Amino acid sequence: MRALGILLLVAAVAGAGDWPFGPRSGMRGWDLYNFGLLGAKGSDADKAPPANTPPQGGRRSFNVDRSGGDDGPVRLRIEILYPEGPAQQAGLQKGDVIIGAGGKKFTKGSFAPFAKALLKAESTTGKLVLLVQKGGQGKARKVEVTLPVSKVGKDAAKPTKGKGRRALWEASLAWLAQRQDADGGFKQTLSGKNGAVVQTAMAGLAWLGGGSDLEHGPYKDNLMGAAEWLAANVTQLGDGKAGERGTKASWSQSNWGYAHAAIFLGELNARTPSRAVLQTLHYCARRLVETQEASGGWAHGPGGPNALGYVELNIVTGLALGGLGLAQQSGYEVPKETIERAEAYLIESGSGDGGIAYSAKPGQRGQGNIGRTAGTWLGYLALGRGKKPLGKKMGSWVNRNADKVLGGHASLMQHIRLAGVAAHVHGRAAAKKYWSTCERDLVLARAPDGSFQPRPWAETIGMGSNTDVSFGEVWTTAAWTLVLVSQPEKGGPVGFPAWSAKPPK
């Protein structure tokens, strides 16, 4: 009998050991839909299960169909389970197909009704009724899952406001603290050292936004560790010059590291001035000035065209301007010509309505995007240029398009993060518009441990890989947390007064 019990236990946890991204091949994992506090992830049951194939390298062509909206598959096949989570404890297994939640079948999409059912269960009795085809076959039957009832009760039904929002960001800040290494940094994922710098800076920003600094708050030691780790590592990013790795392409990603580190360190120094922090901040600013391309834009890093043949991209340009703006607030003198060249490049890239396009290259200019525009607008605010003509146009564009996060490129979380921070900086109307699209994704992104998880979207489905999966849980968790803490509240988050150039009230 004991042997039989062990076999049953092994069977029950099948699919659980692969959390959160399935069996990896290199830095590539499964691109799966997250089912919120249910503690499970899955794929579209009307398509083939995910295959653990090695990542493709070099230039790729892919088809991205954005015409069908983004409402979610109506049949969700479970692929992995959170160990001992609500789904596993209810007896759900890999291969089961969820076709409804809250006792109702999915019809025009699963995202909105699934999120609504999860919120209702968490804010009331904790009981969630799913419609499940066992093994993906036959007639669906009802399966009752018990979710943890929120400590804030009925307020959990409003996860973007008040106590409901606070419960989310408090849990995610604690999760980030648990994942921080003893040396103050975070493990390298995509882009090696650069990726670790970016994630350390983003976690630091999250703790800052939640109200801690170097002298106060539950995460003051975490912030000190992050600042010290960046001081020791940001000088090691390298330039990735052409010829490295045996190719003529530039493999540098250093501008991502310099920009994110400068934004975090600038915000940190504005709260609790520190000579050591200031020294690292100014180093990052100098490197950003030095790595600006002759065109006025910024690339992933210096060294010429990358493996895909391009140089500048304005998602980095906006972040670089944000880093320079925060360094300027600390006393660093940003060369006038640096800003003038950047603005000329941005104007050349745009279509005149304030939207910031991918670059100034033919075929890439004139197409505004919320992530690029939001990040660049925040950079303009930090530089004190928000009332300049381009700054005003970008601000207006952000207000009109705060809900257009799914029209982005590459990393969905990049656009969710920058659009969310900018929308809350802009004001209540823009924030409301943003959450009209993103609230369901916030709910579904949650995991039982307090983290947030990435998901497939039009572009990753077309490409067959997801950058957010490669970056990992810290990236996505920090990104959602930055959005949640970006709106200052009395006795709550303090937001980002330096990045947004809005002193706290």
What is the tens place of the pLDDT at every residue in 387-420?
A: 999 999 999 999 999 999 988 788 999 999 999 9
Question: At 247, is the pLDDT very low, low, confident or very high (cuts 50, 70, 90)?
Answer: low
Q: How many C-beta neighbours within 10 Å does residue 392 have?
A: 15
The model scores a pTM over 0.85: yes
Per-residue buried b or exposed e for 157-190, using 16+ beta carbons within 10 Å of the residue's own CB: bebbeebbbbbbbbbbbebbbebbeeebbbeebb
- Could you tell me the domains of the chain? 13-54+65-154 (2.30.42.10), 158-484 (1.50.10.20)
Give the pair of three-digit tokens for residue 361.
Answer: 């290259």
Residue 270, pLDDT > 50, answer yes
| Under 8 Å between Cβ of 441 and 114 | no
**Would strands 40-44 and 76-81 be described as parallel, antiparallel, or unpaired?**
antiparallel
Helix axes 428-445, 412-426, angle to 10 degrees: 150
| Under 8 Å between Cβ of 461 and 467 | no
What is the tens place of the pLDDT at every residue in 142-193?
A: 999 999 999 999 999 999 999 999 999 999 999 999 999 999 999 988 888 9
> What is the rounded CA–CA span in Å between residue 124 and residue 128?
10
| Distance in angstroms between the alpha carbons of the first and the last residue of the chain | 66
Residue 98, pLDDT > 90, answer yes
pLDDT on residue 15: 52
> What is the rounded CA–CA span in Å between residue 415 and residue 404?
9
Identify any residues that bridge with 131 across adjacent strands, giving them in sequence order.
100, 142
pLDDT on residue 463: 81
Give the pair of three-digit tokens for residue 63.
Answer: 């088809």
Give the pair of three-digit tokens for residue 325.
Answer: 């703006």
